[in-house]
Amino acid sequence: MNFFEHQDRAKAKTSRLVWLFVLTVLLLTGLIYLTVAFSLVLNAEMDDSVSMWNPEVLLWVIVGNTLVIGGGCLFKMLELGGRGDKVAQMLGGRLVHPETTDPAEQRLVHVIEEMAIASGVTMPEVYVLKDHSINAFAAGSKTSEAVIGVTTGCLNLLSRDELQAVMAHEFSHILNGDMRLNIRMIALLHGILSITIIGRILLELGWQERSYGDDDEKGGHIGLALLGLAFMAIGGLGLAMSQVIKAAVSRQREFLADASAVQFTRNPEGITGALKKIGGIPQGSRIKNAHAEEASHLFFGNGLQSDSGFSLGNLSTHPPLVERIRRIDPQFDGAFPAIEYQPPEPEPGQNSSKAQSGAHFLQSSVMAGVAMGEARKNWNPQQALNGQSQVSRVQLNHASELLQAMDPALHQASHDPFGAQAMVFTLLLSQQDDACREQMSALEENGHAALVQEMGRLLPHIRAMDARTKLPLVDLAIPSLRQLSPAQFEAFSQTLQWLIESDQQIDLFEFALQKVVERHLRHHFVAQSRQAPSHHVILPLLPHAQVLISGFAHIGHDQAAATQLAFERGIAQLGELGKKLTLLPFDQCNLPQMNEAIEHLNLATPGLRQRIIFSLAHTVGADGSVTLKEAELLRAFADALDCPIPPHVDTPIETQPT
């Protein structure tokens, strides 16, 4: 199942959630009406004109209940804003700085960096929850806003392999489109909780006023308190039903994420070891936070109680631990090892491999950086795109190798907001020494002396770096750049644009870098409305698809015949309608025009975006091979369509000009 099929599956689950929610609201509305009508009949005493059927009361109950539940949903949606960092902060999470000196946090950041590079997802922000249980979560409405949260128990009690497996589980939720569903579920269930809140208010009002006034008034206040109790009971029923809703859409996703983690790491013992440790510690996976109930479906383990103790059975958002383990290890006997919370000692030589790789990096990376830019690699479009949600151990190993190949000075710079800015700017400097000096002089004259000094320090490392590590390094710098203030980001954005335009042209790498920064930072600092998909058929998108496919055909092929063949391979993926398209001249499908086409295609459904990206994948690989430039450009466009593609891994088959 590829990324888009997972997105469609998540959309189907969202539809099921909405229908379950509507049924729950209807049931609660009926119960509230019966409660109010019964209360009116009791207060009317012998008045025969008052009956249980009262259309006017029913109308007011429907309107009032809709406003209460809808208002609760809207409030929570506005509070969270679809952003994962809001969820992490709601749960008491503390942001982990990429330059943390804590060994356990360093290990966590390094593991997540590997996962991010291997899956093609921009490095998420990392949060730690101060809790001795073993648990983790991924949150955010889309991949560019994702965060990863872990408890201190998860951080300190799991081995590296177990931690890697848990992170692979969470990245599976990111890639499978589960996060937006989770955010929406929090909002919908908060709306149901609003009924209980209203009931508590009525109860408190009635209880506080019970001693005032005459007997009739006292009786009225007692009735108000009883009505509040009834509302709280109805709200409690709603919460129980919400648990059923969460269980209905959550349990199978956990099995899928466990299986994906095994596929990702090729290490079944990692995920089973983590699950066994949850069953072996007294805290289990319980989260001690007031918001644990509404966010329980986000967690790796059941966040509401110790998994080794009392269980809610089929009402639980998570399958039983034993069942999850036996899905992977059928021989498991059900016995959990007894474990006590105790922070582990740092693993010997934990950072030695990184330091050792840095020692010989500069000796070999110059030729690697030159060669990899133009080396052609085998290309199978179907296999490459299936990797969108089926990340393999090969890609994980590739990510680990890229991290080892990164110059330590650049890797360290990516972890600091100031250093990350300098690194991104240095990547955009001209390769010509004279032009480079002019650019740096202009920056210094415009008040960026400190940045210019840092850029000068990083420049030799940038010039010598492996070309494969450029965009991954930018991805790793995104969390640091998010720590800028809005004013700092605006200055950063303006300088970035000036550097891109300073040579009067935009090359492929500059365009890809600009798209990464625009997509993953602009939305973070500038609030923008989210538009629902407005294109459900391919016909109105064909002119925009024609621009993209033509542009990719020109970029990857010099000869007219090869360009035409690449275009035909691309439009063939659009069916009969695509065959009516013709190859555009290059001046009608340059990078700015391709960028404009992306804006329109972003309003298409996931299935339509799938067809477009498949077309582009067949275009760049029409001759069965791609260069690093082509593969990275495809990744940049796919990322702009919220469809991350893992890095392409293969052995170079030849070196030749493109």
Indicate whether 504 and 410 sit together in one domain: yes
Rounded CA gap, 38 and 50, in Å? 10
- As annotated, the active-site residues are 170
Indicate whether 43 and 172 sit together in one domain: no
- Per-residue confidence (pLDDT) for residue 192, from 0 to 100: 80
Taking all residues of the chain, what is their mean pLDDT, rounded to a whole number?
80
Among the residue ranges 206-215, 221-230, 249-258, the one predicted with the least confidence is 206-215
Indicate whether 154 and 21 sit together in one domain: no
Q: Is residue 337 part of a domain?
A: no
- Per-residue confidence (pLDDT) for residue 350, from 0 to 100: 45
Rounded CA gap, 519 and 618, in Å? 25
Query: How many Cα atoms within 13 Å fall on the side-chain side of residue 220?
Result: 8
Between 377 and 423, the higher pLDDT residue:
423
Residue tagged 């002396």 (tokens): 449
Q: Is residue 334 part of a domain?
A: no
Rounded CA gap, 82 and 524, in Å? 11
Q: Is residue 304 part of a domain?
A: yes
**Does the pLDDT at position 380 exceed 80?**
no
- Per-residue confidence (pLDDT) for residue 349, from 0 to 100: 47
**Does the pLDDT at position 313 exceed 70?**
no
pLDDT band at 24 (very low <50, low <70, confident <90, very high): confident
The pLDDT tens digits for 509-543 are: 888 888 888 888 887 887 665 666 677 788 899 99
**Does the pLDDT at position 215 exceed 70?**
no
**Does the pLDDT at position 475 exceed 80?**
yes
pLDDT band at 212 (very low <50, low <70, confident <90, very high): low
- Per-residue confidence (pLDDT) for residue 156, from 0 to 100: 92
**Does the pLDDT at position 595 exceed 90?**
no
Residue from 260, 90, 253 nearest 177 by CA: 253
Among the residue ranges 318-327, 476-485, 524-533, 625-634, the one predicted with the least confidence is 524-533
Cα-Cα-Cα-Cα torsion 452, 453, 454, 456, nearest 10 degrees, comes to 80
Q: Is residue 135 part of a domain?
A: yes
- Per-residue confidence (pLDDT) for residue 372, from 0 to 100: 32
Indicate whether 544 and 557 sit together in one domain: yes
Per DSSP bridges, beta strands 93-95 and 125-129 are antiparallel
Q: Is residue 336 part of a domain?
A: no
Contact 210, 95 (CB under 8 A): no
Among the residue ranges 114-128, 184-198, 440-454, the one predicted with the least confidence is 184-198
Q: Is residue 602 part of a domain?
A: yes
Indicate whether 28 and 152 sit together in one domain: no
Contact 202, 225 (CB under 8 A): yes
DSSP character at residue 469: G
Q: Give me the CATH number covering residue 91.
A: 3.30.2010.10
**Does the pLDDT at position 282 exceed 80?**
yes
Give me the domain span that covers residue 114.
85-176+257-328
Where a domain ends, among 478, 497, 525? 525
**Secondary structure in 3-state letters for 496-527:** HHHHHHCCCCCCHHHHHHHHHHHHHHHHHHCC
Residue type at position 434: D
Between 78 and 368, the higher pLDDT residue:
78
Rounded CA gap, 14 and 37, in Å? 34
Give buried/exposed letters for 180-202 (b at 16+ CB in 10 A, else e).
Answer: bbbbbbbbbbbbbbbbbebbeeb
Average pLDDT on 255-266 reads 83
Indicate whether 170 and 238 sit together in one domain: no
Rounded CA gap, 656 and 658, in Å? 6
Among the residue ranges 293-302, 373-382, 456-465, 614-623, the one predicted with the least confidence is 373-382
| Proportion of the chain above pLDDT 70, given as a percent | 81
Q: Which residues 6+ apart lie within 8 Å of 433 measured at CB?
A: none
How many domains does the structure of the chain reveal? 4
**Does the pLDDT at position 389 exceed 60?**
no
Indicate whether 236 and 367 sit together in one domain: no
Q: Is residue 531 part of a domain?
A: no
Rounded CA gap, 147 and 182, in Å? 13
**Does the pLDDT at position 252 exceed 60?**
yes
The pLDDT tens digits for 169-204 are: 999 888 877 777 777 778 877 788 788 888 888 777
Where a domain ends, among 197, 230, 249? 249
Among the residue ranges 352-356, 407-411, 639-643, the one predicted with the least confidence is 352-356
Indicate whether 90 and 128 sit together in one domain: yes
- Per-residue confidence (pLDDT) for residue 191, from 0 to 100: 82
Give the predicted TM-score (pTM) of the model.
Answer: 0.75
The pLDDT tens digits for 319-353 are: 899 999 998 899 999 899 888 766 655 554 444 33
Residue from 386, 280, 403 nearest 342 by CA: 280
Between 297 and 481, the higher pLDDT residue:
481
Indicate whether 567 and 638 sit together in one domain: yes
**Does the pLDDT at position 45 exceed 90?**
no
| Proportion of the chain above pLDDT 90, given as a percent | 30
- Per-residue confidence (pLDDT) for residue 276, from 0 to 100: 95
Between 410 and 15, the higher pLDDT residue:
410
Indicate whether 504 and 562 sit together in one domain: no
* Region label for 656, one of left (φ > 0), alpha (ψ between -120 and 50) or beta (otherwise): beta
Between 102 and 310, the higher pLDDT residue:
102
Give buried/exposed letters for 565-595 (b at 16+ CB in 10 A, else e).
Answer: bbbbbbbebbeeebeebebbeeeebbbebbb
Indicate whether 382 and 458 sit together in one domain: yes
Q: Is residue 200 part of a domain?
A: yes
Average pLDDT on 472-500 reads 91
Average pLDDT on 90-112 reads 92
Rounded CA gap, 578 and 106, in Å? 50
Average pLDDT on 216-227 reads 63
**Does the pLDDT at position 429 exceed 90?**
yes
Between 379 and 220, the higher pLDDT residue:
379
pLDDT band at 311 (very low <50, low <70, confident <90, very high): very low
Indicate whether 415 and 469 sit together in one domain: yes
Per DSSP bridges, beta strands 652-655 and 375-378 are antiparallel
652-655: strand order across its sheet: 625-627, 375-378, 652-655
Q: Which of 158-172, 281-295, 381-395 has the highest mean pLDDT?
A: 158-172
Where a domain ends, among 228, 249, 270? 249
User: What Rg do the C-alpha atoms of the chain give, in angstroms?
Assistant: 28
